[in-house]
Amino acid sequence: MPELCVGERHWEVAAASNLLDALLGAGIAVPHSCRAGSCQACLVRCVAGEPEDAKPDALDAGRRQQGWRLACQCRVNGPLQLEVFDPNKDARPAQVQACDWLSERVLRLRLLPQQPLRYRPGQHLLLWTADGIARPYSLACLPGEDACLEFHIDCGRPGAFCDATRQLQVGDSLRLGALSGAALHYDPDWQEKPLWLLGAGTGLAPLWAVLREALRQGHRGPIRVVHVAGAGAEHYLAGALLALAERHAHVQVELIEGPQLPAFLSTLRLASRQTVALLCGGPEMVEVVSRRLYLAGLPRSQLLSDLFLPHA
């Protein structure tokens, strides 16, 4: 049976055990969230030995060379000596600059990193609280224009991270972990193509950044922005979106409430097969909209999506 070693702890596990389960089962505190290799909360560093990695491309080459792996995606087939990601040592600090409510359930969090962070619109970043709670959130800001990193936190449901963010004050500190996600982005080659941005809930956050990036790069094709929310009051960026549409004649904004979604989808038609669609939200919404767009004639290669997966 393979042996695991973390600090002074040594124990044996069954061959082919999931690494995250083996660590948690031994009482090793490893933050985790999606268990799908997306959130990157369960980072561990291999000091000696190498696990079987189901998603080697989930981490960038630099971190892999340093020995970092995602515990949820690894199986133990031999002895391993590990270090668990320590946010106090391995994550960069950031200070809360603003914390305000965009709606009854959506909290806008703005952070100023101690060191500049290079990111692209549409990516997401792992946030760590002072108590070691980690969750990934999409960036709603635009590099080069927004001084702070901006996140839209859905606090409509109870959760450890949401509970912690409700207590944040200006001047408090958080830690910034792994930057990931490249599915949602803007490509300058799309400038003449129709661009559709469809988000549900706070799935609008990365699309807000992509929309502003498209306009900054002089996108000339029509842009259709659709936000799906449970109720009208939860269209938390309605004012900003409509104001932007007033300034740009080729931007169309549609605010859809949840019960209206089936009727909206039934009337969905493509004006051009050159359309590029970006979707962001929960798995059910993304699947339903993706299927409808495919049936409407949108090639799969022109549909990009990012799922907001439930936390473990």
Tell me if 164 sits within 8 A of 270, measured CB to CB: no
For CATH 3.10.20.30, the residue range(s) in the chain are 3-85
The dihedral over CA atoms of 200, 105, 184, 93, expressed in degrees to the nearest 10, equals -170
Average pLDDT over residues 106-133: 93
Give residue 24's Cα distance to chain centre.
24
d(C-alpha 193, C-alpha 254), whole Å: 19
Give the pLDDT of residue 285. Answer: 92
Q: What is the mean pLDDT of the chain?
A: 93
CA distances from 242 to 105, 217, 236, 249, 276 (A): 21, 20, 12, 11, 21
3-85: CATH number = 3.10.20.30
pLDDT band (50, 70, 90) for residue 312: very low
CATH class as words, domain 188-307: alpha beta
**How do beta strands 124-128 and 92-101 pair?**
unpaired
φ, ψ for residue 53, nearest 5 deg: -105, 120
d(C-alpha 85, C-alpha 89), whole Å: 8
CA distances from 83 to 90, 125, 131, 145 (A): 11, 21, 19, 37
**Residue 257 class from Cβ within 10 Å (0-12 exposed, 13-18 middle, 19+ buried)?**
middle
Give the pLDDT of residue 88. Answer: 86
Check pLDDT > 60 for residue 213: yes
For CATH 3.40.50.80, the residue range(s) in the chain are 188-307
d(C-alpha 154, C-alpha 162), whole Å: 8
pTM (predicted TM-score): 0.88
Average pLDDT over residues 178-190: 89
Average pLDDT over residues 197-222: 97
Neighbours of 49 (CB within 10 A): 17
Check pLDDT > 50 for residue 156: yes
pLDDT in tens, 35-78: 888 778 899 999 999 999 999 988 888 889 999 999 999 999 99
Picking from 110, 105, 92, the residue whose alpha carbon sits closest to that of residue 162 is 105
Average pLDDT over residues 236-256: 98
Give the pLDDT of residue 310. Answer: 61
For CATH 2.40.30.10, the residue range(s) in the chain are 91-180
Give the pLDDT of residue 311. Answer: 55
Check pLDDT > 70 for residue 204: yes
Q: Return the CATH architecture of domain 91-180.
A: Beta Barrel (2.40)
